[in-house]
Amino acid sequence: MLRSPVRKTKPTQTRVTPPAFVADCAPAANSSLQKIQELLAKINLAIKSSGNLRRDIKQDVCHCTKEIETILLSNPSMVPNTQADPAATTAAVRLAVREEMARFKPPDCDTVRQAVREELAKFKPPEPTSVRQAMREELAKFQPSAIAPKAPSSAMTRTYAESARAPPRKAPTPPRTLPSIIIKTSKEDPNQPSVLDQWKSKVSFRDTTFAPTKVKPIGKNALRVDFESPDHCAEALKRANAVPGLKAEEARKRKPLIILKGINKDTNREELLDIIAQQNAVPIEGMRLCFPLKNRNEKLYNVVLEVQPTIYKKFIESERVNIEHQRVRAAEFSRFVQCYKCLEFGHTNNKCRADYYPCSHCASTAHSFANCPNKNKSEALKCINCTRHNEKTGSNAGTKHSATNSKICPRIIHTRNILQETVDYGF
Ligand SMILES: [Zn+2]
Ligand SMILES: [Zn+2]
Ligand SMILES: [Zn+2]
């Protein structure tokens, strides 16, 4: 048999809790009222017991005290000290604020300075490596397509936001090449001191007003010495050649290369140099067409020119070259080449004599990059050139990068820099 569950109901509260402010102010109001009533009673007693007052005055005073009592009893809010009086509350608040303000003493400058000093002493700047790491992570997250508009917008049609977003354009500064001499030994004598020692001990600049800018050992027992001007260079050449056992010559520098990207195929390649010379006001004899290169756009092509330092400077600074209806982009072209078969520098794969194809990703000589089983594993990254260099020189350069990463690989960067030093950019 089902029994209906017994409902346990909570007993309802009959006591009503008065609001907080009533509880707070009631005792004070009550005690004041009580006090007034007591005083009024005393006044009444004194008047009645006094024989000197006129009867009608006694009656008036008694009547008034009764009246006051009645009014007070019927209006408890009129009793001072109750929070029901907003004017009194406001005045009390104002008074309290004034008192607090009077008590407030502003901290003196020394205290503030001391506090700032303590805070600064506690501050630890982030480590450069952590900042670099954070920047790397931010750069890795960066997607240019998300910010940069796909279509190139000219300065005239740019919105304000686009202009504000774009970093200020800075004209590239072409490198400067100092005149230099190459010093070698004139005879192959294994017992003679090194070229550097002979140069230091036998060639003096004490009676001149200049000094070499840079002395750099190159290759086997040879030196390259840079000077500020061709005059200094000529003087040093004379002095070095006067030393028996030394042979000095002016360093032969190669002319810089420039790549022009995106020339319209309608522009005939045979006429190209004439057009560039005429349309850019540069001497035609200062340029040589080296080779054409493919452009991603089938309607366009690129060319590499060897140019005089003055022409190089002009084209690199303006970044553009006028060709027919176009303002073609110009940039430096490096002589650096890397073989994609053996991954060594200085030759291209069609001139490669190596009989192995090391992997550019993991440095294995058992497979090429095309067949690399570790292609998707970044932890397998290992540069074969940097690994070999470390083994040869006992150095400890980083090897966790692709052997073809020209932005990271220290061997590529070093080789590029060496090549750049052999280029005459003018000075
Ligand atoms: Zn090769
Ligand atoms: Zn591999
Ligand atoms: Zn490397």
pLDDT tens digits, 199-225: 999 999 999 999 999 998 887 788 999
Q: What is the mean pLDDT of residues 350-360?
A: 91
Measured in angstroms, how far is the CA atom of residue 390 from the centroid of ligand 3?
A: 10
pTM assigned to the model: 0.53
Q: What is the mean pLDDT of residues 380-393?
A: 95
Least distant ligand from the CA of 411: 3
Least distant ligand from the CA of 415: 3
Measured in angstroms, how far is the CA atom of residue 377 from the centroid of ligand 2?
A: 10
- Name the least confident of 16-20, 69-73, 210-214, 350-354: 16-20
Residue 287, Cβ neighbours under 10 Å: how many? Answer: 22
pLDDT in tens, 149-183: 444 444 455 667 776 777 666 766 767 778 889 99
More confident residue, 54 or 382: 382
Measured in angstroms, how far is the CA atom of residue 424 from the centroid of ligand 3?
A: 27
Residues 6+ apart with CB under 8 A from 254: 335, 422, 423, 424
Measured in angstroms, how far is the CA atom of residue 311 from the centroid of ligand 3?
A: 34
Ion ligand 3: residue ranges with CB closer than 5 A: 383, 385-386, 409, 411
The secondary structure element, H or E, covering residue 181 is strand 180-185
Least distant ligand from the CA of 409: 3
More confident residue, 24 or 77: 77
pLDDT in tens, 82-133: 444 556 556 666 777 677 667 666 556 666 677 767 776 666 655 555 666 6
Closest to 259 (Cα-Cα) out of 301, 220, 231, 296: 301
CA–CA distance, 299 with 74 (Å, rounded to integer): 104
Least distant ligand from the CA of 402: 3
Least distant ligand from the CA of 354: 1
pLDDT over 70 (residue 419): yes
pLDDT at 152: 45
pLDDT at 93: 62
Least distant ligand from the CA of 385: 3
pLDDT at 38: 76
**Regarding beta strands 326-332 and 320-323, do their DSSP bridges make them parallel or antiparallel, or are they unpaired?**
antiparallel
Measured in angstroms, how far is the CA atom of residue 399 from the centroid of ligand 3?
A: 6
CA–CA distance, 73 with 34 (Å, rounded to integer): 10
Measured in angstroms, how far is the CA atom of residue 357 from the centroid of ligand 2?
A: 10
pLDDT at 10: 43
